[in-house]
Structure formats: structure tokens, C-alpha cells
Amino acid sequence: KQEVTQIPAALSVPEGENLVLNCSFTDSAIYNLQWFRQDPGKGLTSLLLIQSSQREQTSGRLNASLDKSSGRSTLYIAASQPGDSATYLCAAINNFNKFYFGSGTKLNVKP
Amino acid sequence: EPEVTQTPSHQVTQMGQEVILRCVPISNHLYFYWYRQILGQKVEFLVSFYNNEISEKSEIFDDQFSVERPDGSNFTLKIRSTKLEDSAMYFCASSTEGSTGELFFGEGSRLTVL
């Protein structure tokens, strides 16, 4: 069974800092890895999808990389802003058509 | 921008009662899912649905759970006899493709079982 782990569980940084969130998965036979943002009491907003043939995806200040062989993905957030404060979840999907989620990294960006 | 919509946003029910959670997936999507998140825990897969049948389900999705696509737009999750441990946020999601498609989630339905 796929196990997805996210480190750190929580992170507090001053505004403007660049930061990296880590995601690791045990089964490298994944099709996709997707990063989500979750605000308190809300749904999951898709940030970036990396397909297994890709190594990275970029959207604005966000960059996600994928290294299947080592079972790792990172989400890089440049020039963090208070509005980036949320929980960030990564999820890996394998050939059984279901996503396995990590526990998330709770990010607090201080003004 | 198209989105997945869910109703109700919050439902409170007594233990043993039946609950139906409703979802309208994005209109051109073919794969539909239910996930749940117990407070403070990971988001967990419940079931996937494609071509009017269940394609995959987890061990959580026992005989008390069922899904249906009663018409061309709605996708429902029914819990026949709710238990206290069913209290959670239930998320509906949809995608254009199965294992390779981007997943889009609704805002969730919070179920509280008393």
C-alpha cells in the first residue's frame, strides 16, 4: 500500500522568504503526483499536477518537482506572502485509480 | 470556471439515520470520487466511479455505503445507518481521466453524527 509522508508538519516563516515543502512516497509506480492547498474548513484546491513522465511543473510562484526513483516530490514557493498561509497536501496516484494523501504541511507566513 | 459543487455544506444527524450527500461534478468529467477527512486526519479515498459503476473502493466503503449517479449531473453518496465514527468532511471529486487526470474537489459536506 502506498504511504505518503510530508515534512515538515508545520512551518512558520516571515513574509518574502522562499520555502520548500517535502513529500515522499513509498511506491514509485505512480501515474501522477498532485499538490493541493486546503484552507481551514474548506475543500482542496489543485495547485499543480505532475505526470509520471514529467520532472517538474510551474505555476506563478510555485514550482513542483518529481523524482520517482527516489520517491520524492518538492513544492517550492517563492517570495512567500501571508495569503499563502494554508495547509499544503500532496497526493500520489497509482494504477488503481485512487489518490493517497499525505498529512499535509501547515504553513504560516507572518507579515 | 467550472467547479464541483456539493450539498449540503453541513448536516447533523442522529446515529442510525440515513444520510445522502450530493455532488454535481464538472460537466465534461467522466471519473467521480468520494473522499473523506476525519478531523485532524489524512484525506482518505472511499470510492471511484466510472461508466455508471464502481471502479475501485477502499476497505472503509462497506455495505453501509453506496453511490449512485441518478441522472446526467448528480453523483450521490448514501450512508444507510450512520455511526458516530462516520462524522467527517466528505469530499466529492471528479476528473477527465482516471489515473492520469487532474483531480478537482468540491468544498465538502461536513457530517456530524450525534
Measured between CB atoms, which of A34, A51, A94 is closest to B103?
A34
- Nearest CA among A30, A27, A21, A100 for reference residue A65: A21
Q: Which residues of B touch A101 (CB under 8 A)?
A: 42-44
CB of B42 less than 8 A from some CB of A? yes
pLDDT of residue B102: 86
A100 pLDDT band, cuts 50/70/90, is very high
Cβ–Cβ pairs < 8 A, chains A and B: 61
How long a stretch of residues is chain A?
Answer: 111
Looking at the predicted structure, is the pLDDT value of residue A78 above 70?
yes
Counting residues of chain A whose pLDDT is more than 70, the rounded percentage is 97
* B39, B42, B51, B109: best to mutate for the A interface, most A CBs within 10 A: B42
C-alpha B94/C-alpha B31 separation (Å) is 5
If we measure between CA atoms, which residue out of A80, A46, A34, A35 comes closest to residue A61?
A: A80
Residue B24 touches chain A, beta carbons under 8 Å: no
The whole-number pLDDT of residue B70 equals: 84
Q: What is the mean pLDDT of residues A41-65?
A: 93
pLDDT at residue number A95: 67
- Return per-residue pLDDT of chain B as tens, 114 residues: 779 999 999 999 999 999 999 999 998 898 999 999 999 899 999 999 998 899 989 999 999 999 999 887 899 999 999 999 999 999 999 998 776 778 899 999 999 999
Nearest residue of B to residue A6, measured between CA atoms: B42
CB A90 within 8 A of CB A35: yes
Cell of A51: 505526470
| Cα–chain center distance at B25 | 11
* A14-32: pLDDT as tens digits: 999 999 999 999 988 888 8
A37-63 exposure pattern, b = at least 16 Cβ within 10 A, e = fewer: bbeeeebbebbbbbbbeeeebeeeebb
Question: How far is residue A88 CA from its own chain's centroid?
Answer: 6
**DSSP secondary structure string for all residues of chain B:** ----EEE-SEEEE-TT--EEEEEE--TT--EEEEEEE-TTS-EEEEEEEETTEEEEE-TT--TTEEEE--SSS-EEEEESS--GGG-EEEEEEEESSSTTSPPEE---EEEEE-
**Banded model confidence at residue A1, pLDDT cuts 50, 70, 90:** confident
Q: Is B56 on the interface with A (CB under 8 A)?
A: yes
Are residues A93 and B108, on separate chains, in Cβ contact within 8 Å? no
Residues 6 or more apart from B40 whose CB is under 8 A from it? none
